Every structure is written in structure tokens, then in C-alpha cells.
């Protein structure tokens, strides 16, 4: 668990936050909504919804290209959003933050730009066996184009990265290491400082996928020492369609653009074009300005609640959920890493994860069932998928109790449990 649980006071304090999230007040199938699918996307506080609506009603104009007041105003808001992301990740310079559609696009940017420019035949790309498809497939594209080879760090039975194998796989041909900070399928928190240290010792560049980390703990890219860090706003209480890439300045400066168009150029003629400096070089076309405004509000919201307080609350909840779920006969956890964040992944003997998901849904409990975009990891565990409950700052013990009650009901419906149980 990634922070010291601080007992029930914290939990009660966080429960008051439920009121900040209007969607949590709506019933589903006539039941109170118990939203435990936060790994897929988080719900949005009113402050984020208002910020986006206010942008369209008071501030909307295209950025950079206008001399008029409104355009300058919306450009200011966009720039403030970049500064907020810099603060969130503690990047040294605002130029190190590139806006993208999300984690997936950020990884594709790095693969297409850095990857194609720097990888050659026989170079090795080292990924972990618990990567999301978005940190696998873009590297397969690059491997096919460059002749580089993908190597995979195995995952232990407990769902941890096999660090012994990692050290052995690293060698002078390893040019790139791509790892999730926190696994979306298992909740495993990877030892990313150590990964960066060892990877840098052989001269490899490191990308950390922070999609499941930024909403659950404080991230400091300078302390981590990574070369790239990526995340999605929608898993951080922000809007969909906006996320960011952090890249070390000298790497971004040396990388070629990956999409061409307006805003990313310095000069254009039919003979040749020159490009804008980092980060504009990587932001072709009209960006998601309202999304940046919403993301800025989301970061302000989590900073106000406090990432340490969020981590402590979620750890308390995960501990409680682990104890309660462990009491259900036939339930088996997938992933029992020593360091886990906000995710309980499990299977139930005799009931397919999809059936569990459907039965829980009828009780108003939203979980995710399936491969979680980590098919190689599911293959590793010999499973088609798992059921995953993932927590956010607004979840409560009552939510865990509803999950547990729903699982007992599923067992009764499948004839695995007597009604009195
Ligand atoms: N990596 C991880 C670890 C994830 O959890 C996700 C989303 N499930 C992604 C990448 C992809 O994020 P997005 O779909 O927002 O681009």
C-alpha cells in the first residue's frame, strides 16, 4: 500500500466529498450508484464541470492565432493549464509539458517521434509483462519499422515485476524501457526509481506510464529521474480527451515533430517548413482548449483535497476491501503485490467475471470485468479476465459493503451459497 493508512477520520472526511460529484447522486437500476470503475475513468467534481462550461460561455476563442482580446484570454487559460500540469508532476520547465489526447496518444507520440528517430535494427525495447496495450502496440509499430526487438520483463505469481529478470534483461543494446508506474489490472506499484536507476546505468531512455498513478499519489518527475512520464486527465477527475506527456527538455528539443499542421510550425513554404520550439512542435492543430481548462480545475481540486490525504484514504479502503473480499468463499485475488494502489482484482470460482459484472450492475455496483487491455498479463495468469474494483477519493466503506453483498448475491444466484449465508 502506498501510504500509511490513517484510520477512519480520514475516511469520514473524504466521504463528505461525495457531494462534490453530482453523478454520484443519480440512481442506477433504482439503486444508489456505487461507482468502483475508477481505473477506467473517474467521475468529475462540479468544479471541473463548471470550469469547462464557463470556458464555453465566457472565454471560448481559438488560441495563439488571434490578436483579439478573447483569443489572448483563452491562450492565457491554456498556458495556465500547462503550468498546472508542470506543478502536478514537478517538471523543471513548462516547456517539458506537451498536451495530448491522453496516455495513449502520449505514448504514440514518443514511439513515433523518439522511437523512429533513435531505434535501429537489433536495438532492444524493454517492456513489462503487465503493460496496458497502449504501451505495447505503439512499440510493435516502431519495432516493425526499425528492426528493433521487444523484450519483456516477467511478472511474478504475486503480480510484481520480476526485478531479478529485469536486471538480467538490461544490456548495452537496451535503448528504451517502458513501464507502468501502477498496473491498471493488478494495482501493483512498481519500483520505478530503481527501474530508472538501472535503465540509465545502461544508457536506456525510460518512459513511465502514470495513467493509474497520478490520481493516487504525488508524482515528482525530477525525483524519479525518468525521461518521459504520461497520464490521462480523465483518470484524474478531469475531462476525457486531454492528457499530457512530460519529456526531458533536451530529448524533446532533439525529437522530430510527429504530426504536421497549424501551430507546430515556424515558417512554411512548399519547398520546406521549419518548426516551432518545444512543446508547440508537438501540438499540431487546434488543441482541446476546454479540456485543458477542465484539467487545470481537476488538478486544482486534487491539490486542494491533497494527494497524501487521497492516498491514505484509498489505502484504508483497499485494506478494508481486501479483508472483506477475502471472507467470500471461492474468491481469489489476482495480484497480491506488497505495494498496491486503489485496485482489487479477483476471480470467483464458478462465475465468469462478466457475469459478476452484470449481477453487480443490477445492484447499482459498477465494476469492470475483462482483460483490462492487458491481454498478455491475463495469458500469464491463464485467465480470460478478472473482476476489478478500483477506488477513488469519493468511495466509502459502504461502497465496499455493497460490493461484498453483491458478490454474495451472485454466489446465491449461481447456487453456490445458501440464502442464510
Ligand atoms: N495505461 C494504463 C496503465 C491505463 O490504465 C490506461 C487506461 N486504462 C491507459 C494506459 C490508456 O489510457 P487512455 O485510454 O486514457 O489513453
pLDDT in tens, 309-328: 999 999 999 999 999 999 99
Instruction: Give the dihedral sign, CA 355/356/360/361.
Output: negative
Query: What does the pLDDT look like over 19-44, one tens digit per residue?
Result: 999 999 999 999 999 999 999 999 99
| β-pair partners for 348 | 331, 351
C-alpha 119/C-alpha 145 separation (Å) is 9
Query: What does the pLDDT look like over 163-221, one tens digit per residue?
Result: 999 999 999 999 999 999 999 999 999 999 999 999 999 999 999 999 999 999 999 99
| pLDDT of amino acid 13 | 73
3 state SS of 78: helix
Please determine, for residue 3, whether its predicted confidence score (pLDDT) is greater than 50.
no
What stretches of 274-365 show up as alpha helix (H) in DSSP? 289-305, 307-326, 353-362
Helix (H) or strand (E) holding 35, with range, is strand 34-35
Average model confidence (pLDDT) across the chain: 95
132 touches ligand 1 (CB under 6 Å): yes
184 touches ligand 1 (CB under 6 Å): yes
Atom of ligand 1 nearest to the CA of 182: 3
Provide the percentage of residues in the chain whose pLDDT is more than 90.
94
103 touches ligand 1 (CB under 6 Å): yes
> In CATH, what class is 3-42+306-420?
alpha beta
Please determine, for residue 112, whether its predicted confidence score (pLDDT) is greater than 50.
yes
- Domain ranges in the chain are 3-42+306-420, 49-303
> In CATH, what class is 49-303?
alpha beta
209 touches ligand 1 (CB under 6 Å): yes
| pLDDT of amino acid 75 | 97
Q: What is the pTM of this model?
A: 0.96
Query: What does the pLDDT look like over 152-164, one tens digit per residue?
Result: 999 999 999 999 9
* 10 Ramachandran zone, left/alpha/beta (phi>0; psi -120 to 50): alpha
Q: Which of 100, 180, 213, 232 to mutate to test the pocket of ligand 1 (most atoms within 8 A of CB)?
A: 232
Report how far ligand 1's centroid is from the alpha carbon of 414 (Å): 33
Report the alpha-carbon angle 324-329-332, nearest 5. Answer: 75
In this structure, which residue's CA is closest to atom 4 in ligand 1?
Answer: 211
- Stretch among 15-24, 109-118, 374-383, 388-397 having the lowest mean pLDDT: 15-24
How buried is 9 (Cβ within 10 angstroms: 0-12 exposed, 13-18 middle, 19+ buried)? exposed
Please indicate whether the domains covering 3-42+306-420 and 49-303 agree at the CATH topology level: no
Report how far ligand 1's centroid is from the alpha carbon of 390 (Å): 14
| pLDDT of amino acid 220 | 98
CA torsion 374→380→381→386, rounded to 10°? 10
Amino acid at each position: 500500500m502506498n501510504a500509511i493508512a490513517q484510520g477512519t477520520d480520514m475516511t469520514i472526511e473524504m466521504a463528505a466529498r461525495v457531494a462534490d460529484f453530482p453523478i454520484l447522486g443519480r440512481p442506477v437500476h433504482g439503486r444508489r450508484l456505487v461507482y468502483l470503475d475508477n481505473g477506467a475513468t473517474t467521475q468529475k467534481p462540479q468544479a471541473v464541470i463548471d470550469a469547462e462550461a464557463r470556458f464555453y460561455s465566457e472565454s471560448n476563442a481559438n488560441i495563439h492565432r488571434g490578436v483579439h482580446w478573447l483569443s489572448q484570454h483563452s491562450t492565457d487559460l491554456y498556458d495556465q493549464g500547462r503550468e498546472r500540469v508542470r506543478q502536478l508532476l514537478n517538471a523543471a520547465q513548462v516547456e517539458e509539458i506537451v498536451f495530448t489526447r491522453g496516455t495513449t496518444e502520449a505514448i504514440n507520440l514518443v514511439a513515433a517521434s523518439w522511437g523512429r528517430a533513435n531505434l535501429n535494427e537489433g536495438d532492444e525495447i524493454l517492456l513489462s509483462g503487465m503493460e496496458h496495450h497502449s504501451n505495447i502496440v505503439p512499440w510493435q509499430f516502431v519495432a516493425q519499422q526499425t528492426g528493433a526487438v521487444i523484450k519483456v520483463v516477467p511478472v511474478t505469481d504475486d503480480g510484481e515485476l520480476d526485478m531479478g529478470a529485469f536486471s538480467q534483461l538490461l544490456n548495452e543494446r537496451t535503448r528504451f524501457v517502458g513501464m507502468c508506474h501502477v498496473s491498471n489490472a493488478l494495482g501493483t506499484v512498481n519500483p520505478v526509481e530503481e527501474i530508472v536507476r538501472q535503465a540509465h546505468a545502461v544508457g536506456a531512455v525510460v518512459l513511465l506510464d502514470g495513467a493509474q498513478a497520478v490520481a493516487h499519489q504525488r508524482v515528482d518527475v525530477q525525483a524519479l529521474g525518468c525521461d518521459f512520464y504520461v497520464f490521462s486527465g480523465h483518470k484524474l477527475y478531469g475531462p476525457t480527451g486531454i492528457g499530457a506527456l512530460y519529456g526531458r527538455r533536451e530529448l524533446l528539443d532533439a525529437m522530430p515533430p510527429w504530426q504536421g499542421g497549424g501551430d507546430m510550425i515556424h515558417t512554411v513554404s512548399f519547398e520546406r517548413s521549419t518548426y516551432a520550439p518545444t512543446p508547440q512542435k508537438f501540438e499540431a492543430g487546434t488543441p482541446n482548449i476546454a479540456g485543458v481548462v477542465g484539467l487545470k480545475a481537476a488538478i486544482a481540486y486534487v491539490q486542494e483535497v491533497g494527494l497524501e490525504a487521497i492516498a491514505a484514504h484509498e489505502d484504508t479502503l483497499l485494506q478494508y476491501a481486501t479483508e472483506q473480499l477475502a471472507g467470500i468463499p471461492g474468491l481469489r485475488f489476482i495480484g497480491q503485490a506488497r505495494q498496491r494502489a486503489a485496485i482489487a482484482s479477483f476471480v470467483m470460482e464458478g462465475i465468469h467475471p462478466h457475469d459478476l459484472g452484470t449481477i453487480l450492475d443490477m445492484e447499482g455496483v459498477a465494476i469492470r470485468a475483462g482483460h483490462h487491455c492487458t491481454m498478455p498479463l491475463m495469458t500469464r495468469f491463464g485467465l480470460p479476465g478478472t473482476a476489478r474494483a478500483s477506488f477513488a477519493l469519493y468511495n466509502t466503506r459502504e461502497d465496499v459493503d455493497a460490493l461484498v453483498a453483491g458478490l454474495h448475491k451472485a454466489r446465491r444466484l449461481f447456487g453456490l451459497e445458501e440464502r442464510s449465508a
